[in-house]
């Protein structure tokens, strides 16, 4: 089976996982917040700083041309990673959050106005919610939500057709995989419906780019964003893919060096292509590290990672659901490799602090989904999120520690 064999083969690539925390072997289950780095990524970043660093696109000298090549190679790799036709549709950002802010500002200002509707879902991360609140306020557009139903977190996507035909929806922005529910939205069908209605789409792939095969041409989305640090890459670097037809007439997001072509004291005009959106010196080492991370993930194969995720997600669901008083969010089947839950009356922060004492890293809180948590009548949940280096025995360990926590905090 694929299962566990991925951890058997690849876990040793991650030096950080081989340590004790509070006297116990580290069980790292906070991958939805940030994943860890394989040696190849760490080594390449160090090598770059030792041997090749200089600013990009500026110098004629050897180091600058090397770093420029490495930086642009990373762009080309990102295009292949996402199935984009050209590297010109790949913009480097600081991460998912900046990618969405860029679109909300640059695209939003030009295309939204009074009477227009921005449609998002009730399960969006704050990063894919607040920029639209602000864009709506600034342009006079209104923000509407596709409702999430029950703890399963299902969205009635069949309602999309009606919503798109009855409202002047200009943009549909939604997450591929929910970071708190672990459900997987049918991106392709959603984008196809939006396309029929001439609605621009943005896919938040923060939780999916490193977990599932992605091909933006097959998905037919207009924008897709993700963060390097959630797929074995460095923090501070991310990708915004933009459909060339949409990107071409978009105004810059920030202004300064790198993004201009001709500047006078009175005015300036912009470079074409992705460089127009990358003002200032970029995170060069971040892009180079991300290149190696994407290469690494392609070697493992995202279909294999996805199958592994589904398996770990379902195993976790089965084993955790036997705990007394547990309330699990998200679907039972067809789930991503993450599980959020509430355990009786015990507060998530107490659970997370308890698990940490046994070397288990969980996340506790609202997971940047405050409105969704409020809607579900929850304040905070604990979340365990997996990557291909996690094992079933780590899930067993989690269950064991949660059982002990029930006794510890129980009434």
Partner 1 sequence: MEIDELYQTIILDHSKRPRNFGELPPPATKGEGYNPSCGDEVVVFISQSPQGTIEQVRFTGQACAICTASTSLMTTQVKGKTVAEALGLKRTFIDFLTQDAIPATGLGNLQALAGVKKFPQRLKCATLGWHALEGALKTNVG
Distance of closest approach, residue 225 Cβ to ligand PLP, in angstroms: 8
Q: Report the partner that residue 380 touches, choosing among ligand PLP, partner 1, none (CB closer than 5 to 8 A by kind).
A: partner 1
Helices and strands: H and E segment counts in the chain: 15, 19
> Hunting for tokens 């459900």 — which residue is that?
183
Would you count residue 187 as binding ligand PLP (CB under 6 A)? no
Would you count residue 121 as binding ligand PLP (CB under 6 A)? no
Question: In this structure, how many other beta carbons lie within 10 angstroms of the beta carbon of residue 182?
Answer: 27
Question: In this structure, how many other beta carbons lie within 10 angstroms of the beta carbon of residue 216?
Answer: 24
| Distance from C-alpha of 252 to C-alpha of 229, rounded to nearest angstrom | 25
Q: Which residues belong to the active site?
A: 368
Distance of closest approach, residue 93 Cβ to ligand PLP, in angstroms: 9
Q: Report the partner that residue 97 touches, choosing among partner 1, ligand PLP, none (CB closer than 5 to 8 A by kind).
A: ligand PLP
Would you count residue 30 as binding ligand PLP (CB under 6 A)? no
| Distance from C-alpha of 31 to C-alpha of 398, rounded to nearest angstrom | 15
From 118, 127, 155, 285, residue interacting with ligand PLP (rule: CB under 6 A): 127
Q: Report the partner that residue 127 touches, choosing among partner 1, ligand PLP, none (CB closer than 5 to 8 A by kind).
A: ligand PLP
Would you count residue 207 as binding ligand PLP (CB under 6 A)? yes
Distance of closest approach, residue 168 Cβ to ligand PLP, in angstroms: 26
* Interface with ligand PLP: number of residues (CB under 6 A): 14
Residue 20 tokens, joined: 């004790």
Tell me how far the alpha carbon of residue 23 is from its chain's centroid. Answer: 32
Would you count residue 391 as binding ligand PLP (CB under 6 A)? no
Residue 357 tokens, joined: 């004492």
For 217-235, give the DSSP string: HHHT-SEEEEEGGGTTS-T
The DSSP symbol for 128 reads: G
Per CB under 6 A, the segment of 3-11, 93-101, 154-162, 333-341 that binds ligand PLP is 93-101
From 31, 36, 175, 391, residue interacting with ligand PLP (rule: CB under 6 A): 175
For 264-276, give the DSSP string: -SS-EEEPSGGGG
Applying CB under 6 A, the residues found at the interface with ligand PLP are 32, 95-97, 125, 127-128, 175, 179, 204, 206-207, 227, 368
């Amino acid at each position: 089976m694929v299962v566990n064999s991925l951890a058997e083969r690849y876990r040793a690539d991650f030096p950080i996982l081989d340590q004790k925390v509070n006297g116990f072997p580290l069980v790292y289950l906070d991958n939805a917040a940030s994943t860890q780095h394989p040696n190849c990524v760490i080594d390449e970043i160090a090598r770059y700083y030792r041997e090749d660093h200089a600013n990009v696109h500026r110098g004629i000298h050897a180091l600058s041309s090397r770093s420029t090549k490495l930086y642009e190679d990373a762009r080309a790799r990102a295009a292949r990673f996402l199935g984009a036709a050209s590297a010109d549709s790949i913009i480097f950002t600081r991460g998912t959050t900046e990618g969405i802010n860029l679109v909300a500002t640059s695209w939003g200002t030009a295309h939204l106005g009074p009477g227009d509707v921005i449609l998002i879902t009730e399960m969006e991360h704050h990063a894919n919610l607040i920029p639209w609140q602000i864009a709506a306020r600034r342009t006079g557009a209104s923000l509407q939500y596709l409702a999430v139903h029950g703890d399963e977190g299902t969205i009635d996507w069949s309602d999309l057709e009606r919503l798109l035909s009855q409202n002047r929806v200009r943009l549909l922005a939604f997450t591929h995989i929910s970071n708190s529910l672990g459900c997987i939205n049918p991106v392709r069908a959603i984008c196809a419906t939006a396309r029929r209605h001439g609605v621009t789409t943005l896919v938040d792939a923060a939780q999916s780019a490193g977990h599932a095969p992605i091909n933006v041409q097959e998905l037919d989305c207009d924008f897709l964003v993700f963060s390097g640090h959630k797929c074995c890459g460095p923090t501070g670097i991310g990708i915004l893919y933009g459909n060339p037809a949409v990107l071409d007439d978009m105004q810059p997001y920030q202004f300064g060096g790198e993004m201009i072509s001709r500047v006078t004291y009175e005015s300036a005009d912009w470079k074409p292509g992705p460089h127009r959106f990358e003002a200032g010196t970029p995170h060069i080492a971040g892009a180079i590290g991300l290149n190696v991370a994407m290469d690494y993930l392609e070697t493992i194969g995202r279909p294999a990672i996805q199958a592994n995720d589904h398996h770990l997600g379902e195993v976790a669901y089965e084993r955790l659901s036997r705990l007394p008083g547990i309330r699990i969010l998200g679907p039972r089947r067809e789930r991503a490799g993450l599980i959020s839950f509430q355990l009786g009356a015990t507060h998530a922060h107490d659970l997370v602090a308890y698990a940490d004492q046994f070397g288990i890293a969980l996340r506790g809180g609202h997971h940047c989904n405050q409105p969704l948590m409020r809607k579900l009548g929850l304040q905070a949940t604990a979340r365990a999120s997996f990557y291909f280096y996690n094992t079933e025995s780590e899930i067993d360990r989690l269950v064991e520690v949660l059982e002990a926590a029930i006794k510890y905090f129980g009434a």
